[in-house]
Amino acid sequence: MDPAEFWSLGDYSVIGDLWAQAGRDIVASLTVENKDIVDLATGTGVSAIAAARRGGRSVIGVDVTQSLLEEAAHRAETAGVKPQWVQADMHQVPLGDNCADLVISTFGLIFSAEPLEALNEAKRLVRTGGEVVFSSWSSSGMFSHIRQALAPYFPDAPAPWHEDPEDIRRLVGPQAIIREGWFTVEVNSPETFVDLMEKHSAPIILGAQSLGPRWPEARDALLSTVRRWAEPSALGTSLRASYLVTSVPVP
C-alpha cells in the first residue's frame, strides 16, 4: 500500500487533533519569524499554520495525501493565514536546494520506511545555518507503551529508531540536540480514546485487519495500557503523552 492510500484510511483530521498541541508547542519553541519554513508530512497543517501565525516569511506544508492537504487549506483559511500546500512524498520533495531556513516534521518523519533518506531530503532543503526539527514518541511515554503492548501481536514490525536519544543520534549523528516535551490528550474515557484510534488511526486500522479474530485480544492489551495512563479531568480523562524533539543543525 502506497503512503497516500495508507494515510487515507480512517480520518487523520480526527486522530491527529489528539496530539495537535505538540505541533503548536514545537513551533512556539522555535524562532520562526521572518524565516522560510517547510513542514514535511504536514497532515492537517497544524505546525504549518502555527508557523504562519507566528510570522514565518513563507511556509510550505508538504504531504502525500491530497485529502489531508485540502483539510489543511480549510483550516488555514479559518485561521486567516496562507501557507502553500504541496502534494509530495517526503523522500522526493519538489522544492529547490537550500530553499528553507527551517524544516519541521511533527510525528511525520518517524513513519518513513527509509528515515535516513527522508532526513537527507529534509537537509537538502535547508540553507547553511538552518536546522531540521522533528518530533517522535519517547520511550518513557504513553504512545511508546502502546507500541510495546501491541508488539507481541506484530513480531515482524521493525524496532523503532526514534524513541531513545542514543538511537536517534546513531541515525542522525552526534550533533543532534534532543529534548523531551509532553502534552495531555483530553478524552471522555480510555475507552473513548481506543475507539477513536480503532476508527481513525491508519496503523491501528490496518493492524486490526491483519490480526482478524485476534484483534479483540490485542485491543484489550491496548485498552489496559491506556487505562494505566489515565487521570481524572474536567472532560473525563487526561492522558499525559511524552515526546522527543530532535534538532539537527545544517552546517
Q: What is the pLDDT of residues 140-168, one digit of tens each?
A: 999 999 999 999 999 999 999 999 999 99
Burial class for 22, CB neighbours closer than 10 Å (0-12, 13-18, 19+): buried
pLDDT of residue 244: 98
For the chain, give every domain's residue range: 3-249
Burial class for 62, CB neighbours closer than 10 Å (0-12, 13-18, 19+): buried
Q: Which residues of the chain have pLDDT under 70?
A: none
| CATH superfamily to which 3-249 belongs | Vaccinia Virus protein VP39 (3.40.50.150)
Question: 86 - beta bridge partners?
Answer: 62
Handedness of CA 136, 141, 143, 148 (dihedral sign): positive
pLDDT of residue 1: 80
pLDDT of residue 66: 95
Q: What is the pTM of this model?
A: 0.95
How is residue 106 written as a grid cell? 511533527
pLDDT digits 0-9 by tens, 77-114? 999 999 999 999 999 999 999 999 999 999 999 999 99
